Amino acid sequence: MPDRSVYNWTNIGISICGGLAAAAVFAVLTKGTLAGLALAHLAPLPIVIVALGLGVRHGASAAIVGTIALSFWPHYLFGMAYGLLVALPAWLGCYAAAGAPWGRRDLLSVNLSAWAVTAISVAIIGALVLFLSLAYFSHGAIDQPLAYVQGQFYFTLDQMMKERKPGEGGPTAEELTRFVKLYLPAVFATYALLLQCFNLWAGARLTQISGMLKLQWPDIAADFRLPRAVAVLFALATGLSFMGGFLGAAALVAASVLGMALGFQGLAVAHFWVRGSKSGTLTLAILYFFLGLLGLPMILLTLLGLADTALRFRERKSVAPRPADSP
């Protein structure tokens, strides 16, 4: 539906408070504690709730307020990291989920959940590629906003090397360090997409429960179809990721994020296939168990999602009625 953000002092105050709340949640990263890192996972949630509950314009205001606040304290680079990795993807996801309202019409009307994930993916890829380029040209000066995350990786590596028995084989410290430098941005980008999608879903549910959600809840299992261009870009980025240097690292980030997005489509196909079957709940429970335990099934889901972009498996299956409690 077209954005109908109502501008009054109450809504403006809520949007400002929501932006400050999101910034405060993300700022706990400066404490350098595990509890702070866990709490920072919910940083996009206030922006999502404001954007879906009051309108995307108020959500944009909340995102801007939080970014400005963190740019003044603790550091402008920290504010930059928040704005590009937390606030912008969260708002873009809500904007696409709301139909991308422009003027008095919506630019999007179908597959809104898939477009939301696509928008978040593009924002995360752009942010990480920008950080990589700045790090490449400034010799690591941009590492400060993510210093805690990077420090935890290196601390873990140091502990592993100290616990290794003398004469025991395995990779050297230099090899492990090189591995972390190459794959850390891609791992971080993929995890950021997962967190953003979770916060979008959780924020939408909370807004729905409160009665403020203006959108109809989509049938994600049936409607989640990424644009075919995502599959093409994924294949291209995967090929370029084998190159060294900045181009290879940037392509690896793109391939990882787009691969996760395609994995979501594969998961939607799995949900649709088992819909209405007696063993559907058990099948999905086993699937999610192995996803949480190993993560490896996501590769198979990515391949399934990649195939679905071309073959449209769900259109071949007779449409079953949607259960009342389906996500």
- 98 CB-near residues (< 8 Å, 6+ apart): 1, 3, 51, 52, 56, 106, 112, 214, 215
pLDDT level of residue 75 (50, 70, 90 thresholds): confident
pLDDT tens readout for residues 79-121: 999 999 999 999 999 999 999 998 888 899 889 999 999 999 9
Please provide the distance, in angstroms rounded to a whole number, between the alpha carbons at the two ends of the chain: 21
- Residue 102 pairs in a beta bridge with 105
DSSP type of residue 271: H
User: Of the candidates 103, 91, 95, which has an alpha carbon nearest to the alpha carbon of residue 2?
Assistant: 103
Using CA atoms, how far apart are residues 255 and 235, in angstroms rounded to an integer? 8
Helix (H, G, I), strand (E, B) or coil at 298: helix
The sign of the CA dihedral 83, 127, 185, 158 is negative
Helix (H, G, I), strand (E, B) or coil at 106: strand
pLDDT cut 70: percent of the chain above it = 81
State residue 143's pLDDT score. 46
Using CA atoms, how far apart are residues 198 and 63, in angstroms rounded to an integer? 18
State residue 167's pLDDT score. 54
pLDDT level of residue 142 (50, 70, 90 thresholds): very low
pLDDT tens readout for residues 172-224: 656 666 666 667 888 889 999 999 999 999 999 999 999 998 788 999 999 99
State residue 1's pLDDT score. 43
**Is the separation of the CB atoms in 161 and 173 below 8 Å?**
yes
pLDDT tens readout for residues 20-62: 999 999 998 888 777 888 899 999 999 999 999 999 999 999 9
